[in-house]
Amino acid sequence: MFGVRAFIFGLPLLLCGIVAAAFYSEKNTQAHHKNELISASIGEAHNLNPVQSSDAAASEVESWVCNTLVKYDENLEVVGDLADSWEQKQTTTIFFFNETDAKSAALKVQQAADRWTDWSLVSAEPNGAELHLNFSIPGPKGSREVFALLDHSKIAPLTIVRAELKQAAQQYASNFRKSAVTAPLVKRSWIESSGAFEFTVAGDTKRVVDELQTALGANKSLAANVTTTDKMDYLQEPEIVFHLHKGVKWHDGAPFTAKDMVFTFQKVMDESVASPRKPDFDLFQLVEAPDPLTVRAVCRKPFSLALLAWMIPPLPEHILAGKTTDWWAENFNRKILGTGPYKFAEWKTNEYISLVKNPDYFRGEPHLDSVLIRVLPDPLTLRLAFQTKQTDSWLIDPWSIGRFQDDPRFDLFKSPGRQYSYVGWNLRRPLFQDKKVRQALAHAVDIGSIIKYVLYGNGTQSTGIFPPEMWFFNADVKPFTYDPELAKRMLGEAGWTPGPDGILTKNGQRFSFTLITNNGNEARKDIATLVQADLRKIGIEVKVEIYEWAVFLERHVDTGDFDAVVLGWALGVDYDQYTLWHSSQTNPKQLNFCCYKNPEVDRVLEQLRVEYDRDTIKSLAGRLQQTIYDDQPYLFLAVPKPITAMWKDTFRVLRPANGKWTDEPIRETKAGAGVYQEWFYRPQYRPQITPQ
């Protein structure tokens, strides 16, 4: 009885105490607020190494600490950051059987000089049995049209010869090119990994294959396999030359140079680093530093997204060169070093990451003294922290948006709607390998109710991998309707019939699985519960399990150890989703963790990467969206309409623009309200700010 009374009378007192503490905290915080920006999230960064991290929490820290060669401006146009400027061009090489034919071809191209402008052709020069075409704009169009002029019977065809072995690919490829009789036929080498390399061979492929098989076969431990793969008419090698900003320094005072970018590329491609960014750089053949302020990056085929790949923070060569990844984990991954406006200060696990301003920032000293990124345990704490001014912004819970919109104390900013939520089916599991079953599951879940009750109407039904705001979004893709009776019929056609307990069975197996998601995200928990209830209605048993974020990620998502998972993607603005959907990206810690494999999707993903024409890109992206949505490797749920709240007039922006300083309120842009966050300032500290 005493315990009951204590609960009845003690609970109100406890709540009063919490409110009083919150009130005191708000007043105290208001009175002693430092010149600091405080943000917060539920998830904590996994690590802060920019070539290894892939979570939003790490990206937030990197956005304050690091620069990239190029970035998006407020209109989502690509502008320089660490690079002052750059040029893109392309060299196309056509191989002939002899020098005479190459010279004749060059003359024919030169006689068509009136078409060079249309082709973006700058020069056409013979070099031995080769014809070198130099274009001012990369892409396949000009090369294709020049090639059409020539006598194809005199051109040596190109074939890719691929060697797969257990180890030492770099060594064996190099040795072969130095000593083989057929080495002159090899026009280009590419080392894919420690266990694979490719040669591009002009002319007699059989001679190269035979000699290579003999050379590799001499070492039985390699278990080498040599095959021919793609054929080409000519080599196309686009390149970007970046000219770096002068006087940029790392936070420890060391100069930032082009060698840091070369080192970053090498580490992204290093298998031991296991970088999720590797697919962004797979089409680069060479990255070099001709001088300290120049980076030259050459691709092995047209790559329309080549420039965007360099939106990656660099690694400091002077710190990490010669160190193992184990050393990185202990000494760098939790102590990020950058060139940006704020420097890493401290990481207190499960509490915060603190940053301090970089007075030597190459664009000028930032206005805030520090940035604090807090880690809070749950949405309620996150909300209370914002309402008591212990944080400066808050991604509003969907159920609170209406009230905050009418509150004059707050400024609200719509975030770019480039996110969607989903249930990912693990296609390694036999339960989910039948496409008809996955489509039935899509009909069985009431996504409209999820939008209504979880998002409080602040969202739309997703129709696949691209949100509606993307210019290449396919509006013709129709969403699966909520139709549980149709779902039952489809499952019956797939061989699933009710068992004694009402749960569907097939060949003695019950349709039962575990649906997992991460702790601290109430929307995902609610989605899991609603999916569980809807599937139970059609005879499917779903068990829901919730894990702490690090455990959820490391033990389940990264390893592929799950049946189904509730998650979401926050996307960039480009159309490249190679890392999410290509069949080569299904290994541990890669992003196609649901193990989706479709040869047609692979082909479209690869085509998109080499295509420059806007209309063709839109057509390919639309086909990709339709195909993946029909396949339903995910149960695509909702595209939310996120809104961030800030206390009114807490910050302004004082930024350099067109040779002068512009002072303005924070505002919405195509790139979001935080596009100028490096120049945020608190108005009460304006008298102390002297722009440089």
pLDDT digits (tens, 9 = 90+) for 176-202: 999 899 999 999 999 988 889 999 999
Looking at the fold, whether 437 and 385 belong to one and the same domain comes out as: no
Per-residue pLDDT tens for 621-636?
Answer: 999 999 999 999 999 9
Nearest to 146 by CA among 109, 114, 91: 109
> Is there a contact between 557 and 547 (Cβ–Cβ < 8 Å)?
no
pLDDT for the residue 33: 65
Per the domain annotation, does 47 fall within a domain? yes
Looking at the fold, whether 529 and 662 belong to one and the same domain comes out as: no
CB-neighbour burial class of residue 298 (10 A; exposed 0-12, middle 13-18, buried 19+) = middle
pLDDT for the residue 11: 39
Q: Which domain holds residue 671?
A: 36-75+334-416+644-688
Looking at the fold, whether 658 and 680 belong to one and the same domain comes out as: yes
Looking at the fold, whether 509 and 621 belong to one and the same domain comes out as: yes
State how far the Cα of 308 lies from the Cα of 30, in Å rounded to an integer: 42
Looking at the fold, whether 408 and 509 belong to one and the same domain comes out as: no
Q: In what order do the strands lie in the sheet with 419-425?
A: 541-547, 512-518, 564-570, 419-425, 634-636
Residue 542 DSSP symbol: E
CATH (domain of 348)? 3.40.190.10
Whether this prediction's pTM lies above 0.85 is answered by no
State how far the Cα of 65 lies from the Cα of 345, in Å rounded to an integer: 11
Looking at the fold, whether 407 and 423 belong to one and the same domain comes out as: no
State how far the Cα of 378 lies from the Cα of 43, in Å rounded to an integer: 9
Characterize the bridge pairing of strands 541-547 and 78-80.
unpaired
Nearest to 424 by CA among 552, 325, 333, 326: 552
Per the domain annotation, does 681 fall within a domain? yes
Looking at the fold, whether 549 and 599 belong to one and the same domain comes out as: yes
Looking at the fold, whether 668 and 634 belong to one and the same domain comes out as: no
**What's the gap between Cα 610 and its chain centre?**
18
pLDDT for the residue 647: 93
CATH (domain of 608)? 3.10.105.10
- Which ranges in 352-483 belong to alpha helices (H)? 379-387, 401-405, 435-444, 447-449
Per the domain annotation, does 309 fall within a domain? no
Q: Which of 601, 618, 640 is the last residue of a domain?
A: 640
Q: In what order do the strands lie in the sheet with 497-498?
A: 497-498, 504-506, 509-510
Q: Which of 605, 623, 640 is the last residue of a domain?
A: 640
Per the domain annotation, does 229 fall within a domain? no
Looking at the fold, whether 375 and 427 belong to one and the same domain comes out as: no
State how far the Cα of 560 lies from the Cα of 542, in Å rounded to an integer: 18
Q: Which of 640, 659, 676 is the last residue of a domain?
A: 640
Residue 318 DSSP symbol: H
Per the domain annotation, does 277 fall within a domain? no
Looking at the fold, whether 441 and 566 belong to one and the same domain comes out as: yes
- The residue ranges of the chain whose pLDDT is under 50 are 1-32
User: What is the residue type of 59?
Assistant: S
**What's the gap between Cα 599 and its chain centre?**
22
Per the domain annotation, does 322 fall within a domain? no
Of all helices (H) and strands (E), which one includes residue 226?
strand 225-232
Per the domain annotation, does 147 fall within a domain? no
Per the domain annotation, does 193 fall within a domain? no
pLDDT for the residue 162: 94
Looking at the fold, whether 473 and 593 belong to one and the same domain comes out as: yes
Nearest to 454 by CA among 421, 423, 483: 421
Helix (H, G, I), strand (E, B) or coil at 333: coil
Whole-Å CA distances, 212 to 178, 188, 218: 13, 15, 10
pLDDT for the residue 348: 95
Looking at the fold, whether 531 and 463 belong to one and the same domain comes out as: yes
> How many structural domains is the chain composed of?
2
Give the DSSP letter string of 49-115.
Answer: -TTT--SHHHHHHHHHH---SEEE-TTS-EEESSEEEEEEEEEEEEEBSSHHHHHHHHHHHHTTGGG
Who's near 600: CB < 8 A, 6+ residues apart?
A: 627
